[in-house]
Amino acid sequence: MPREEIDIPYRLDYLSILNEKGEVDEELEPEMEQELLIKLYRSMLLNRRFDERLLSLQRQGRIGTFAPIKGQEASQLGAVATLEESDWLFPSFREMAAENWRGKSLESVLLTYGGYNEGSVIPEGLNNLPVAIPVGTQILHAVGVAYAIKYRGEKNIAMVFFGDGGTSEGDFHEALNFAGVFQTPTIFVCQNNHWAISIPRSQQTHSKTLAQKALAYGIPGVQVDGNDILAVYVAVKEAVERARSGGGPSMIECVTYRMSMHTTADDPKRYRKDEELEEWSKRDPLDRLQKYLMAKGLLSEEEIDSLEEEVKKEIKETVAAYEEKQKELGDPLLMFDHVFEELPPHLKEQREELSRELAEKEEEEQNNG
């Protein structure tokens, strides 16, 4: 018998529309309303400046550890901009911009990183799931909800975000296999930021792309320039429309870069070179969209300055509201109650340490007041 090449249903494309200079491929440029483009720019700017403020607050000890999003705004916003309110969002721990676009308040982000469980409460009617900290678990959740959507004959879709490191987890493969078999309306958005904490993309898989992993499960996949919000929007919109019409799941690999640390407990200087960061900084998604909008006459220098002041004021008011809210949320020492019948020695030590710090802080405020 002859040796024959097997014909598989899908091939892989790479999509880029808007380059780092703000130049656009007019043949691929999508028709997007001016209002949507400006809204995307404002949201990108707001989340960038808020991310920078969060880092400052964390270094001051006013919030706890968090995962910065700097550099990955286009991958998130270009994707969620294609969703309807009735669709479902499944974030990991680095999707602040996506969650904010979908209705999660900045104040709730601060409450979460400040250590208050109230920050994780999902408002009634908002189809966002809470942040998933264990790597990859939310991928299974998204497929489960998508299966329920299909079972009920609804037209909604479930969108799930995960990183390149998440594709090394068994949950990822189980989820894609189930989604492929049952053709669930699931959109898998992989933010390939090149680093799974300190492990580079090259040490996670020998595959040339991450998107090609979808092909093994009979799912269409595409790789896009994740710092190009137009390419992300076009690729995800195509996948969303296919899923909504009964065409099953898709995977989009957004090639982007984590311009900050993995979390504020991490020191990226220990494992990556400054030259790498400098090179990727030239591809900044915020700068790229700004150049594009200015070239099209949709945004002026004056309007940019005005938006900067606008988001600065919003962030300032949000931080003030958060710090006022803290006063209403009770004694932080309550976190040690109702967990163990008898508190273990290491938690007793932590409780005593926190108690001393709170007393010192109260005394300092009284002296200054």
Distance CA 182, CA 95 (A): 27
* Catalytic residue flag (residue 258): yes
Burial of 169 (0-12, 13-18, 19+ CB in 10 A): middle
Give the pLDDT band (50/70/90) at residue 40: very high
DSSP-derived secondary structure letter, 102: T
Question: Nearest Cα to 292, choosing from 228, 348, 205, 235?
Answer: 228
Query: Does residue 167 contact residue 194 with C-beta atoms inside 8 Å?
Result: no
Average pLDDT, the chain: 95
Q: Which of 94, 102, 194, 258 is catalytic?
A: 258
Distance CA 300, CA 39 (A): 15
Q: Is 89 helix (H, G, I), strand (E, B) or coil?
A: strand
Tens digit of each residue's pLDDT (9 = 90 or more) over 350-362? 999 999 998 998 8
pLDDT of residue 368: 79
Q: Is 248 helix (H, G, I), strand (E, B) or coil?
A: coil
Beta bridge partners of 200: 195
Cα angle 154, 159, 162 (rounded to 5 degrees) comes to 155
Give the pLDDT band (50/70/90) at residue 51: very high
Q: How far apart are the first and last CA of the chain?
A: 90
Tens digit of each residue's pLDDT (9 = 90 or more) over 79-130? 999 999 999 999 999 999 999 999 999 999 999 999 888 999 999 999 999 9
Tens digit of each residue's pLDDT (9 = 90 or more) over 268-286? 999 999 999 999 999 999 9
CA count, 13 A, side-chain hemisphere, 216 = 12
Q: Which of 262, 283, 288, 292 is catalytic?
A: 262
The number of angstroms, rounded, from the C-alpha of 76 to the middle of its chain's C-alpha atoms is 5
Distance CA 313, CA 76 (A): 24
Q: Is 339 helix (H, G, I), strand (E, B) or coil?
A: coil
Query: Does residue 29 contact residue 17 with C-beta atoms inside 8 Å?
Result: yes
Of residues 27 and 337, more confidence is placed in 27
Who contacts 4 (Cβ-Cβ below 8 Å, separation ≥6)? none
Tens digit of each residue's pLDDT (9 = 90 or more) over 188-240? 999 999 999 999 999 999 999 999 999 999 999 999 999 999 999 999 999 99
Report the predicted TM-score, pTM, of the whole model to 2 decimal places: 0.91
pLDDT of residue 1: 67
Element (DSSP H or E) covering residue 41? helix 34-59
Beta bridge partners of 224: 15, 254
* Catalytic residue flag (residue 48): no
Distance CA 291, CA 300 (A): 10
Mean pLDDT of 19-44: 96
